[in-house]
Amino acid sequence: MELLDRNYYRMLDDVELISAAAENPNAELAVVLGERMEAVVTKMESDIYDYRERADDFERADDFERECNRLDDEKYQLECEIVRMEAIIDGMAAEIQQLKETSK
């Protein structure tokens, strides 16, 4: 009869199982409640692992975004330096051209 009781309790939903425990606590009910609790704990541990993975992904995304912003700033600085160097080169080329013309 015990195995039949345990199988019966396993078929109950959580509310019915808790109600049965309140009305008539027994060893078979305790076993089924323990199984149910173990299943919930396992599910919660899995969910926690998943949430940690997602948090790590967000952290990596934040790190990636910061690195992209840093590289974008560096690119802008290098572009400004190129513009400055091109202006210097143009000025030198003009000066060289002027020196060539005056030396003729």
Mean pLDDT, residues 90-104 taken together: 89
- Mean pLDDT for the chain? 89
What is the pLDDT at residue 56?
Answer: 83
Q: How far apart are CA 102 and CA 29, in angstroms?
A: 108
Is residue 3 scored above 70 in pLDDT? no
Q: How far apart are CA 54 and CA 62, in angstroms?
A: 12
Please give the residue that has the higher pLDDT: either 92 or 56.
Answer: 92
Mean pLDDT, residues 48-52 taken together: 89
What is the pLDDT at residue 48?
Answer: 92
Domain ranges, ordered by start, for the chain: 2-102
Its sign, for the CA torsion 86, 92, 95, 101, is negative
